[in-house]
Amino acid sequence: MAENTVVQDAKAVKSEPLFGKKEKKLLLDPLNDNNPITVQVLGICSALAVTSLVYPSLVISVAVVFVCGFSSLFTSLIRKNIPKQVRMIVQLVIIATLVTIVELTLKRYNFTVYKQLTVYIGLIITNCIVMGRLEAFAMANKPWRSFLDGIGNGLGYGVILIGIAIIRELFGKGTLFAGSPAEWKIIGPTADYMINTLADGSWFGWYANNNLMVLPAAAMFIIGVFIWIQRSYYPKLVDIS
Amino acid sequence: MHSTSYIVRFVVIMTALVAFFLALLSTGWKDQIELNEAIFNKRAILSAVSDYLGDQDPKEMSDAEVIGIFDSKVDQIALDMSGTPLEAEDIIASGYKGGRAEDIDMAKEKKKDEADRILPLYVFNSDKGKIYIVSVRGNGLWDEIWGSIALDGKLNVVGATFDHKGETPGLGAEIKDNPAFPNSFKGKKIYNDDGDFVSVTVVKGKAGKNNDYAVDGLTGATVTAVGVDEMIRRGIKYYEPYLQKAIAQ
């Protein structure tokens, strides 16, 4: 049966372009019109938990793009062989395998980043976006399109995650990319920062980091504001969810 | 609908394939991962004595440099709870195949009864005499926290590093991410003028500039700060029998 799938796809490639309009839509739709966080409101839990710093959010986003893309690809490849009764367990095994690979790869090649992210890497397994895409798309579509759909949704998730993290880290801590090899110290009370709030004649003497921003509640507000802005620009999204 | 026997076959074959692949990957990379972990721990231990390493910063050293300095300047001793140094066989008997102090897993030791624990002690031979680096472990808000405290020949604190498993980034995780917190332990005393053990207290709020026995707490991370306080208080005490003998010599 697996051979059948491959043969069908070969035909599909001949008759349709490898990267046509439909493919482009699959990849780019989740970035705005069908964003997993702001439109489908999935994956909120991790968006609250990991976004206090930009760098971990970035690594998690890359990992989610990888897991989401390849789990869609593999699920789609064996979609006709998966017994319907146990399909969710099968999807979960595929996701968990990929997440374990991500975890081992980080341990092997970048142990410091692994140590920063420990718990969050494992949490990708429970990210509803990944399984949501497998159920909703990969089980019913061909491998290449499923792969693009997975990548697109991973990117849509990552864009929002990094957006939230930039706001939270900048106003909560006065830095960007803290913990990474290239940390930017933007605003703070010592000479290490680009804007030194305590320097003589500084205009920013009143400035203090906002402690609310480091709490998960801040992410909730920021996601709310993102949704508000997005729906003001695109009124067609208002009645979707 | 698929038959039950098909489902069973499918699941068994799939699980076997996945298990085989992951086991292969995991065993293939095991040595390198263990080495990474050892280097990570050694780097953390050296960070506690970064003031004695000249202008070298343990965070920026290469892996080879970390191993080089650690092997040439650090003696490792394993102690039982009465402060008696242990032989390699005793460490192996406690369940650590390598037989060295660095093989001791503090997380496992923390689960044992207090009397049965064994402790790793690292002695850094600096230009200014021996620095004793003790390992401490306790509980933060969400999960375990641990650290290394460096004590000089008078048993004053000369450095500290902390790490955690799952504290909140930006709040409890500041014990590791904000260098100002571990640095604030430098120069603090753990014995009062009468020679009684008082440890270093992590106070809620500001400790005051001239307080030799306390450091500032962390805003928004009270539980983690209390955890650090308890961890140090209990952890250093475990080493007391050995340290008192060692500095008396």
- What confidence tens digit (pLDDT) does each residue in A55-113 have? 888 989 999 999 999 999 999 999 999 998 899 999 999 999 999 999 999 999 888 88
Q: Strand, helix or coil at A176?
A: strand
Closest CA to A126 of A84, A64, A69, A65: A64
Residues of B in contact with A85 (CB under 8 A): 1-2, 7
This prediction's pTM: 0.78
Residue range A220-224: mean pLDDT, rounded: 93
Closest CA to B225 of B207, B209, B208, B203: B203
Residue range A116-126: mean pLDDT, rounded: 80
Asked if residue B35 belongs to a domain, the reply is no
pLDDT of residue A15: 60
ipTM of model: 0.74
Asked if residue B91 belongs to a domain, the reply is yes
The percent of residues above 70 in pLDDT, for chain A, comes to: 92
Inspect the interface and report whether the beta carbons of B25 and A104 lie closer than 8 Å.
yes
Asked if residue B45 belongs to a domain, the reply is no
Q: Which residues contact B30 (CB under 8 A, 6 or more apart)?
A: none
- Cβ atoms of B49 and B150 closer than 8 Å: yes
DSSP state at residue B167:
P
pLDDT of residue A240: 57
Name which of B2, B26, B171 is nearest A83 (Cβ-Cβ).
B2
Name which of A83, A97, A214 is nearest B18 (Cβ-Cβ).
A97
pLDDT (tens digit per residue) in A13-55: 456 677 888 888 888 888 888 888 888 888 888 888 788 889 8
pLDDT of residue B7: 93
Residue range A145-164: mean pLDDT, rounded: 94
Asked if residue B42 belongs to a domain, the reply is no
pLDDT of residue A2: 45
Q: How far is CA B48 from CA A134, B123, B151, B175, in A?
A: 47, 12, 9, 13
B194: domain range? Answer: 74-248
Task: Read off the pLDDT band of A3 (50, 70, 90).
Answer: very low
Residue A80 CA to residue A78 CA, distance in Å, equals: 6
Q: Which of B21, B31, B33, B218 to mutate to test the interface with A (most CBs of A within 10 A)?
A: B33
**Does residue A139 carry a pLDDT above 90?**
yes
Task: Read off the pLDDT band of A212 (50, 70, 90).
Answer: confident
Q: How many domains does chain B have?
A: 1
Asked if residue B189 belongs to a domain, the reply is yes
**Hey, where are the domains in chain A?**
50-235
How many Cβ pairs closer than 8 A exist between chain A and B?
Answer: 71
Residue B203 CA to residue B181 CA, distance in Å, equals: 12
- Using 70 as the pLDDT threshold, list the residues of chain B that sit under it: none
Angle between helices A143-173 and A216-233 (to 10 degrees): 120
pLDDT of residue A14: 54
Chain A positions with Cβ closer than 8 Å to B: 50, 52-53, 56, 81-86, 89-90, 93, 97, 100-101, 104, 107-108, 111-112, 115, 118-119, 168, 172-173, 178-179, 211, 214-215
